[in-house]
Amino acid sequence: MARHSTLPKRAGELKPERAPQAAHFDRVIHERVRLAIVSALAVNEALTFIDLKRLIDVTDGNLSVHARKLEDAGYIACTKSFQQRMPKTEYRLTAEGRRALEHYLDHMEALIRATRER
Amino acid sequence: MHARAMDNLRFIRETMERAGAFTAVPGLGSIAMGATALFAALIAAEQSGRDAWLAIWLLEAGVAFGAGFWGMVLKARAARMPLLSAAGRKFCLSLAPPLLVCALLTGVLYLHGASDLIPGVWLLLYGTGVVTAGAFSVRVVPVMGLCFMAAGAAALLSPPGWANWYMAAGFGGLHVAFGIVIARRYGG
């Protein structure tokens, strides 16, 4: 039975269709699980699949799907290898992914500033 | 939208902190601390009196503290983390008690004419602080602390004449070496 994470539930709060200005956000990063993956990789040189799974508390399938989306967008790079005959999947944030996170942070900060100035 | 944006920023910060690899310890600040310590060691080596030697190292401690603090500020700013994020707060709170003990013991040892023990005590207690504070940080930080403790123990067991070079190797060499590792691997 699939284990439910708190993250996808919280992600529901941020569904773009419910937020008028969300259309301007980078939708790849805006989703909570993907945002967590990118944030965790931003402060680590690399993280294994297992590290990320434990950190974000999602199921294998959920993590795979979201990591693949980030990979397809060029935000993270995945390397597969073997360590003592065990498969090891490692993720790193690409320069493009770091830029995307910075833009996302800028966007959030600008939004907060704009609301305060109103 | 404002609350949602705030929530998102908080979420990113908490994820980074939980990821454990965000260390408030500044690699570049550590390199700067090491560089000033090496410079201080060269000047201190020229001093014949114990008081002048101690005064130079006390001055260096102040300069290094300032460099380290400024490094933390820059690093936190670059990572868009508050200076006293959970990681930074835990680090400072764990580092402070051994440093306070260090300051107290420095005074006591000086007053009792046991200044020769001060370098070993400084290295040992600074290392202790870094080990305990490093428990909340990336693995390289407590390793650095253990190296300081080893240097302190060696300094206490070595002839007093070697003290300045233990200080140079510890506060200079270890800070620079580990600072490079932290700066390269853990975001500056």
pLDDT in tens, B33-48: 999 999 999 999 998 8
ipTM summary value? 0.72
Contact indicator for B86, B17 with CB cutoff of 8 Å: yes
CB-based contact A115 B79, cutoff 8 Å:
no
Neighbour count for residue B57 (Cβ, 10 Å): 24
pLDDT tens digits, B13-69: 888 877 765 566 788 999 999 999 999 999 999 988 889 999 999 999 999 999 988
Please tell me the pTM assigned to this model: 0.63
What distances in angstroms separate CA A111 from CA A3, A24, B37, B145, B150, one per listed residue? Answer: 34, 11, 44, 42, 50
**Shortest alpha-carbon distance between residue A7 and chain B (Å):** 10
Q: Please, what are the domains in chain A? A: 7-117 (1.10.10.10)
How far apart CA B123 and CA B144 sit, in angstroms, is 11
Residues of chain B positioned with their CB less than 8 A from the CB of A101: 12
Mapping DSSP onto H, E and C, the string for A68-94 reads HHHHHCCCEEEEEEEECCEEEEEEEEC
H/E segment holding residue A48: strand A47-48
Alpha-carbon Rg for chain A in angstroms: 15
* Amino acid, single-letter form, for residue B75: K
What distances in angstroms separate CA B61 from CA A44, B2, B14, B126, B167, one per listed residue? Answer: 31, 44, 33, 11, 11
Residues of chain B positioned with their CB less than 8 A from the CB of A105: 9, 12, 80
How far apart CA B72 and CA B24 sit, in angstroms, is 6
Q: Is the pLDDT of residue A11 over 50?
A: no
Residues of chain A positioned with their CB less than 8 A from the CB of B187: 43
**Shortest alpha-carbon distance between residue A70 and chain B (Å):** 16
Give the mean model confidence (pLDDT) for residues B78-93: 71
CB-based contact B2 A111, cutoff 8 Å:
yes
CB-based contact A21 B19, cutoff 8 Å:
no
B77 vs A: CB within 8 A: no
Task: Give residue A118's pLDDT.
Answer: 66
A10 vs B: CB within 8 A: yes
Half-sphere exposure of B167 (CA within 13 A, CB side): 29
Residues of chain B positioned with their CB less than 8 A from the CB of A57: none
pLDDT tens digits, A17-60: 444 455 567 889 989 999 999 999 987 778 889 888 888 889 99
Task: Give residue A37's pLDDT.
Answer: 95
